[in-house]
Amino acid sequence: MEQDRGAGAARGGVSMLAVEVVVAVLVFALGLTILIGSWTLGSSWTSDGPGPGYFPFYISLIMCVSGVGIAVQALRKRPEGIFADGQQLRQVLVVLVPAALYVLAVQLIGLYIASALYIALFMALLGKYSPVKSTVAAVAIMVLFFLLFEVWFKVPLFKGAFNLLQFTGY
Amino acid sequence: MDELGALFHGFAVVLSPLNLGLMIVGIVLGVLIGVLPGLGGANGVAILLPLTFSMSPTSAIIMLSCIYWGALFGGAITSILFNIPGEPWSVATTFDGYPMAQNGQAGKALAAAFTSSFVGAFIAVVMITFLAPLVAKFALKFGPPEFFAVYLLTFCSFVGMGKGSPFKILASMAIGFALAAVGMDTVTGQLRLTFGIPDLMRGFDFLIAVIGLFGIGEILLSMEEGLKFSGKTAKLNPRVVLETWKELPRYWVTSLRSAAVGIWMGVTPGGATPASFMSYGLAKKMSRDGAKFGTGQVEGVVAPETAAHAAGTSALLPMLALGIPGSPTAAVLLGGLLIWGLQPGPLLFVEQKDFVWGLIASMYLGNIAGLLIVLTTVPLFAAILRVPFSIIAPVIIVICAIGAYTVHTAMLDVWLMLGFGVIGYVFKKLDYPLAPLVLALVLGDKAEDSFRQAMLVSQGDLAIMWSNLLVGSITGLALLLLLWPLLSRAWAGVRRPKRIELNREQPVD
């Protein structure tokens, strides 16, 4: 999905047609990958019934055909309008990029601390809250989650490669 | 009348203090999920699924199904007060609900919406009570070819009854099937399509897909507009409720018709969203006040809400009786059954009587409790919507991450969830349907197993799909639905050949 964002972001928006075609090509490419994968598995009939690649093989055929179908329909109908304008794309990226950084942070320092940081920063930077208010809200929310998951429902959450919450004993 | 006896037994199972408590917790959580953008029935239930791992299956399904009822109720609140549908199935409710709120009739609109939701669900539950055991009994005679035919029917009906490009429906479905095939092959034990990546051995869990596609995707979609809430305040006092109740019986024809539409769309996997639109459209065409629809007609709230709730409820019938869910949320509940160690399918009615009838009894009680709770707590939930989006959005993303992690306690799943979120956003904007993807991901393995078993029985002869009247008629119906887009186009061509000729005769310059 990276390409469709790069393709038209330069000119204030991505056209519907471009995204339609790019996604159709991706569907086709995925179909092709699976086609090759299931072909090597043995998509034919073996001595004891259909091989392990039999079902995925036909699924990938459907995928390739529908990828072509979507592309042809899009090119014939020429959908008007834009997929998203520059402003909308920026809004989406403003959420998506920090979310990806957040998941990376979870991997490193664990879910609780990363989430508290994420909520606080989101509130302070995007919501224009005062740093104190944001920190208090974020810590309060994550303490509640900690109690809910670790203490009450006994579902341990990811503590990260560097466990900073070791002192709590959970 | 066996069903009534079993049902009363079910009530006895449900009416324990613990289960009633869970029911209320479930409804409140569900309304909350329905009200918040980005959290919906399917992903809300998926996220909360891990909380139930330590409960007994009956208590767990009672809580989860009550979350579902709550979410169905909750969607109406945001549609009417804020003109923001909290759920896709309440889009049609905004058409007349929001104008009513603008005219100062918010209370009346809410009371009508909740009551007709209740009516829709109630009619659907009565249908389930009497029909599901019959369907299950019938399905006990099914062999692998019959089951494969039913799976085929499920997926073909997406193509036949869905709106938009059939290629997009097929693509979405095939992606689901392909993702389901990744991992260990259940028949030969071989690894499939992992491309040498050990983490893919586990395969793709549909719960991750549901959380990403519906949760993160929805947040991205809402962020595009940079949400501004400007809602009407609502006070629901008993007088307004009673007055609305006096008025509602007038629309009994609309209610019954909407419930029928909802039940039909719910049992065949059409889903609650198309049901609500279809029912609104029918009501607009058939009502005496049809021309006034869109300006704040009570009937325009009654029709979509009744249908949405009836569809949402009756989607549980194929899940219970056949092990084939009729909606993504029903699929999540089905996933729950597997996790709690129950085998979904017709045998459930024989082997797990307590569970099945407890669930059905909880549908009655849960909807009554839901109606009472939403009628009394609207101001509270409306207040939650005044919490700015810059607090709600990160919290929802955190909740989604927690939900994705807890399914398998694997960090890779959280990354996958993010990826599914982007796919969900793009697919929603391009009108690819998401329900076929999710249902194919859930049912892919089972459909493949039954297909391979059927092929083993017949030594690879596809004629087994027509070997007797039952399997033949299901397969035939499935193929008819699959080809429906082509047939309807051909029919339109036959009926109006003149217009095409006319077009051809016109000079093209």
Residue in this structure with the two tokens 């009655």, named with its chain if needed: B364
Contact status, residue B106 vs residue B298, Cβ threshold 8 Å:
no
**B200 close to B178: Cβ distance less than 8 angstroms:** no
Do the chains contact at B415 and A95, CB–CB below 8 Å?
A: no
pLDDT < 70: residue spans in chain A: 1-12, 46-49, 166-167, 169-170
Predicted pLDDT at A120: 92
In the structure, what pLDDT confidence band is assigned to residue B203 with cuts at 50, 70 and 90? Answer: confident
Distance, CA of A46 to chain centre: 38
Quick check: B406 and B50 in contact, CB under 8 A? yes
User: Exposed (0-12), middle (13-18) or buried (19+): which is A111, by Cβ within 10 Å?
Assistant: buried
What integer pLDDT is reported at residue B1 of this predicted model? 60
Residue A44, amino acid: S
Q: Provide the residue type at A154 as one letter.
A: K
The average pLDDT across B87-106 equals 82
Contact yes or no for A67 and B223 at CB 8 A:
no
B405 interfaces chain A, CB cutoff of 8 Å: yes
Considering only CB atoms, B178 lies closest to which of A59, A84, A118, namely: A59
- Asked if B409 reaches chain A (Cβ–Cβ under 8 Å), the answer is yes
* pLDDT at residue B164 tops 80: no
Cα separations (Å) of B392 from A138, B34, B192, B245, B377? 11, 14, 40, 35, 20
A20, A30, A75 from A23: Cα distances, Å: 5, 10, 13
Question: How do residues B253-307 score in pLDDT, each as one tens digit?
Answer: 888 888 888 888 888 766 677 788 888 888 888 887 778 888 888 888 898 889 9
Q: Report the percentage of chain B scoring pLDDT > 90.
A: 8
pLDDT band per the 50, 70, 90 thresholds, residue B244: confident
For testing contact with chain A, the best of B159, B228, B426, B427 (most A CBs within 10 A): B426
To 5 degrees, how large is the angle CA B187–CA B192–CA B195? 165
Residue B12 touches partner A, C-beta closer than 8 Å: no
Chain B: residue whose CA lies nearest to A133:
B391
pTM: 0.81
Task: Return the minimum-mean-pLDDT range out of B92-96, B171-175, B398-402.
Answer: B92-96
pLDDT of residue B238: 77
Whether B178 contacts chain A with CB within 8 A: yes
Residue B504's pLDDT is 39
Residue in chain B lying closest to A67 (CA): B171
Residue A14: strand pairing partners: A84
Per-residue pLDDT tens over the stretch B31-86: 888 887 667 778 888 888 877 877 888 888 888 889 888 888 887 887 888 777 76
A37 close to B193: Cβ distance less than 8 angstroms: yes
CB contact under 8 A, B174 and A60: yes
B390 → closest Cβ in A4, A115, A122: A122
Q: What is the pLDDT of residue B174?
A: 93
Looking at CA atoms only, how far is residue A53 from chain B in angstroms?
A: 8
The yes-or-no verdict on residue B118 having pLDDT over 80 is: yes
Q: Predicted ipTM?
A: 0.87
| Beta-carbon separation of B456 and A48 below 8 A | yes
- Measured between alpha carbons, how far apart are the two ends of chain A, in Å? 39
Look at residue B234 and tell me whether its pLDDT is greater than 70.
Answer: no
> Across all residues in chain B, what is the average pLDDT?
82
CB–CB of B181 and A56 under 8 A?
yes
Say if residue B22's pLDDT is above 80: yes
B447-470 pLDDT, tens digit each: 888 888 888 888 777 788 888 888
Q: Which of A52, A56, A122 comes nearest B188 by C-beta?
A: A52
Residue B232 pLDDT grade (very low, low, confident, very high; cuts 50, 70, 90) = low
Spatial neighbors of B442 by CB under 8 A, at least 6 apart, are: B180, B206, B325, B331, B334, B335
Q: In 3-state terms, what secondary structure has residue B84? A: coil
- Report residue B284 as tokens: 């607009």
Q: What does the pLDDT look like over B344-379, one tens digit per residue?
A: 788 888 888 888 888 888 889 989 999 998 888 877
In this predicted model, which residue has the larger pLDDT, B202 or B372?
A: B372
How many angstroms separate the Cα of B384 from the Cα of each of A1, B63, B126, B300, B387?
Answer: 34, 22, 34, 26, 6
- Which position has the token pair 């003109």? B83
CA–CA min distance B409, chain A (Å): 7
CB-nearest partner of B192 from A56, A95, A129: A56
Cα–Cα distance list, B363 to B9, B337, B409 (Å)? 14, 17, 31
Task: Residue B70: name the closest of B19, B38, B28 by CA.
Answer: B28
pLDDT at B458: 81
Average pLDDT over residues B308-327: 86
Q: Which of helix, strand or coil describes residue A79?
A: coil
Answer positive or negative: Cα dihedral of B383, B384, B390, B391.
positive
